[in-house]
């Protein structure tokens, strides 16, 4: 059922529609080297074949899994000879991200001279996987997963095509069941056609029922590469849902990770990070809950321990949010980087020897417990940073009370400074 022309090709209207960039390149006969980046089963190989056919170029497929530098150079040299004879060669490299740097380097001179049109296909982000020299000589097109409507159209074609599809079986499948198959394929055309074949095999009478489809599906196969970009996309979605106080979205993305078999301790680590980065002192119990959920999973394991992670995700989502501690640390670090590393003031140094005491270590130190309300007028920052404030609590959750406490402390400290003028301890009541 592989389409052979652009007219039959489904999806990717954002680059192949009228007036869109790749369509314009084809119409002008100006096809250049490019990278097709997208999830599995969206037609990267099919599109490369169609581009070769419409460009009147020789199509040479490569597999990055099976080929090495020797094979690459042999094909490139043949393409160079073909160019001298007036023939263009389109080299298609499937899973180009699997080529190492040296293998990718082997393409450069031939691409640069125009001996070949290179089309690479990858499911991984090219910015991470393709060397910069090759990226600068190609154009990256991001392909999108097929919509349910597009996948249903693909399935209907397969059901009616007697030459390449299942038309001879004359299957009857209601629209809602086709949509169910399409939804479970997650925008993967190849997966949807495979599922359709399994459904057809389970319907010897020619009539497909909901039970037939459910038996074929068994469970949803999720797009989730634990080492690839989708892994980071979904954990990012979970983090941003919790930060946005949306427990329902948080549960959805968490479930996507659980169903795909993600390492539960990885999830727990990320949730702990969210507790300190996005909630912080607005609800200090968030960190306690996060650590407890991690220990709970350790104790129970799967699947019971998954509930602890779900409970934590809900708690974090509905908790008051504050990144004040996160910002405070960032600002303090920036101050360390951008200012001179001043010596520790003498009054803050510990005079652990007689000589150090003679040199002035600890001189002027005020022990807080010897003062009323444990408040002193002593400055603890280096002279150039005196009075600098890094921590500014937000007006949410417990940080409202923390802000009030800080204002009280600062007011009392100012009063102590006025009254004591550094003359020594004030008797505690």
**pLDDT score for 225:** 57
Residue 194 has pLDDT above 70, yes or no: yes
Task: Note whether residue 8 is domain-resident.
Answer: no
The confidence band for 329, taking pLDDT boundaries of 50, 70 and 90, is: very high
**pLDDT score for 308:** 96
Give yes or no: residues 105 and 23 share one domain: yes
Give yes or no: residues 259 and 377 share one domain: no
Q: Among 171, 187, 217, identify where a domain stops.
A: 217
The confidence band for 222, taking pLDDT boundaries of 50, 70 and 90, is: low
Q: Rounded to whole angstroms, how far apart are CA atoms 421 and 52?
A: 85
Task: Note whether residue 429 is domain-resident.
Answer: no
Residue-wise pLDDT for 340-353, tens only, equals 888 999 999 998 88
Mean pLDDT of 60-70: 72
> Which CATH number is 390's domain given?
1.10.3710
Mean pLDDT of 384-410: 90
Give yes or no: residues 362 and 378 share one domain: yes
Mean pLDDT of 120-132: 88
Residue 221 has pLDDT above 60, yes or no: no
Q: Rounded to whole angstroms, how far apart are CA atoms 227 and 336?
A: 36
Task: Note whether residue 299 is domain-resident.
Answer: yes
Cis before 81 (ω within 30) = no
Q: Rounded to whole angstroms, how far apart are CA atoms 372 and 188?
A: 71
The confidence band for 384, taking pLDDT boundaries of 50, 70 and 90, is: confident
Task: Note whether residue 335 is domain-resident.
Answer: no
**pLDDT score for 116:** 84
The confidence band for 19, taking pLDDT boundaries of 50, 70 and 90, is: confident
The confidence band for 327, taking pLDDT boundaries of 50, 70 and 90, is: very high
Helix (H, G, I), strand (E, B) or coil at 389: coil
Residue 66 has pLDDT above 80, yes or no: no
Structure tokens at 16: 């192949």
**pLDDT score for 312:** 97
CA distances from 221 to 76, 81, 148 (A): 39, 46, 16
Taking each helix axis from N to C terminus, what angle separates 210-217 and 189-201, rounded to the nearest 10 degrees?
Answer: 120
Give yes or no: residues 238 and 202 share one domain: no
**pLDDT score for 65:** 66
Give yes or no: residues 153 and 137 share one domain: no
Give yes or no: residues 153 and 167 share one domain: yes
**pLDDT score for 190:** 92
Residue 323 has pLDDT above 90, yes or no: yes
Residue 42 has pLDDT above 50, yes or no: yes
Task: Note whether residue 96 is domain-resident.
Answer: yes
**pLDDT score for 269:** 94
**pLDDT score for 187:** 85
Contact call for residues 53 and 92 (beta carbons, < 8 A): no
Mean pLDDT of 165-177: 88
Give yes or no: residues 168 and 268 share one domain: no
Average pLDDT value over all residues in the chain: 86
> Which CATH number is 179's domain given?
1.10.8.60
Please give the residue range of the domain that contains residue 190.
Answer: 148-217
Give yes or no: residues 40 and 117 share one domain: yes
Residue-wise pLDDT for 94-105, tens only, equals 888 888 888 888
> Which CATH number is 88's domain given?
3.40.50.300
Residue 247 has pLDDT above 90, yes or no: yes
Residue 336 has pLDDT above 70, yes or no: yes
**pLDDT score for 428:** 41
Q: Among 217, 245, 273, identify where a domain stops.
A: 217
Task: Note whether residue 331 is domain-resident.
Answer: no
Give yes or no: residues 213 and 281 share one domain: no
The confidence band for 429, taking pLDDT boundaries of 50, 70 and 90, is: very low
User: Which residues, at least 6 apart from 97, have a Cβ–Cβ distance to it below 8 Å?
Assistant: 64, 122, 123, 124, 126, 129, 130
Give yes or no: residues 281 and 381 share one domain: no
Of the listed ranges 5-19, 67-81, 233-247, 407-421, the least confidently predicted one is 67-81
Give yes or no: residues 127 and 33 share one domain: yes
Q: What percent of the chain has pLDDT over 90?
A: 35
Q: Rounded to whole angstroms, how far apart are CA atoms 223 and 418?
A: 66
Task: Note whether residue 337 is domain-resident.
Answer: no
Q: Among 102, 122, 142, identify where a domain stops.
A: 142
**pLDDT score for 250:** 95
**pLDDT score for 426:** 45
Give yes or no: residues 76 and 168 share one domain: no
> Which CATH number is 239's domain given?
1.20.272.10
Residue 418 has pLDDT above 80, yes or no: no
Residue-wise pLDDT for 269-309, tens only, equals 999 999 999 999 999 999 999 999 999 998 998 889 999 99
Task: Note whether residue 155 is domain-resident.
Answer: yes
Residue 423 has pLDDT above 60, yes or no: no
**pLDDT score for 223:** 58
Residue 32 has pLDDT above 60, yes or no: yes
pTM of the predicted model as reported, rounded to 2 decimal places: 0.66
Q: Which residues of 262-297 are buried (b: 16+ CB within 10 A; e: fewer)?
A: bebeebbebbbebbbebbbbbbeebeebbeebbebb
**pLDDT score for 104:** 86
Number of domains the chain is built from: 4
Q: What is the largest CA-CA distance in the chain?
A: 102
Mean pLDDT of 30-43: 90
């Amino acid at each position: 059922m592989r389409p052979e022309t652009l007219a039959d090709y489904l999806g990717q209207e954002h680059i192949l529609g009228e007036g869109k960039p790749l369509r314009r390149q084809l119409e002008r006969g100006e096809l250049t080297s490019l990278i097709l980046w997208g999830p599995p089963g969206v037609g990267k190989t099919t599109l490369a074949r169609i581009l070769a056919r419409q460009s009147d170029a020789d199509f040479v497929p490569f597999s990055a899994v099976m080929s090495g530098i020797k094979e690459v150079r042999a094909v490139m040299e043949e393409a160079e000879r073909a160019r001298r004879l007036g023939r263009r060669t389109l080299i298609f490299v499937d899973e180009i991200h699997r080529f190492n740097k040296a293998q990718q380097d082997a393409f450069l001179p031939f691409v640069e001279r125009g001996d070949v049109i290179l089309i690479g296909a990858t499911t991984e982000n090219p910015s991470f996987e393709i060397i910069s020299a090759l990226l600068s000589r190609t154009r990256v097109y991001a392909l999108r997963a097929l919509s349910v409507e597009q996948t249903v159209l693909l399935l209907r074609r397969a059901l009616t095509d007697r030459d390449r599809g299942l038309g001879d079986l004359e299957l009857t499948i209601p629209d809602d069941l086709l949509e169910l198959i399409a939804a479970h394929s997650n925008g993967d055309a190849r997966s949807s056609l495979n599922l359709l074949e399994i459904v057809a095999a389970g319907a010897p009478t020619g009539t497909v029922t909901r039970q037939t489809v459910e038996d074929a599906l068994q469970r949803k196969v999720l797009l989730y590469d634990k080492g690839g970009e989708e892994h980071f996309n979904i954990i990012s979605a979970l983090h941003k849902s919790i930060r946005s106080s949306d427990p329902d979205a948080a549960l959805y993305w968490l479930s996507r990770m659980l169903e795909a078999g993600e390492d539960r301790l990885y999830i727990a680590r990320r949730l702990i990070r969210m507790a300190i980065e996005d909630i912080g002192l607005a609800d200090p119990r968030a960190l306690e809950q996060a650590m407890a959920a991690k220990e709970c999973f350790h104790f129970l394991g799967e699947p019971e321990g998954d509930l602890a992670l779900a409970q934590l995700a809900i708690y974090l989502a509905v908790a008051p949010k504050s990144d004040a501690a996160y910002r405070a640390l960032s600002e303090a670090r920036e101050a360390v980087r951008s200012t001179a590393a001043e010596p520790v003031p003498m009054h803050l140094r510990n005079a652990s020897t007689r000589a150090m005491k003679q040199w002035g270590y600890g001189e002027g130190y005020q022990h807080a417990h010897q003062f009323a309300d444990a408040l002193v007028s002593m400055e603890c920052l280096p002279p150039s940073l005196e009075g600098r404030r890094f921590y500014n609590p937000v007006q949410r959750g417990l940080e409202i009370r923390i802000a009030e406490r800080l204002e009280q402390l600062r007011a009392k400290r100012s009063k102590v400074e006025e009254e004591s003028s550094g003359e020594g301890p004030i008797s505690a009541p």
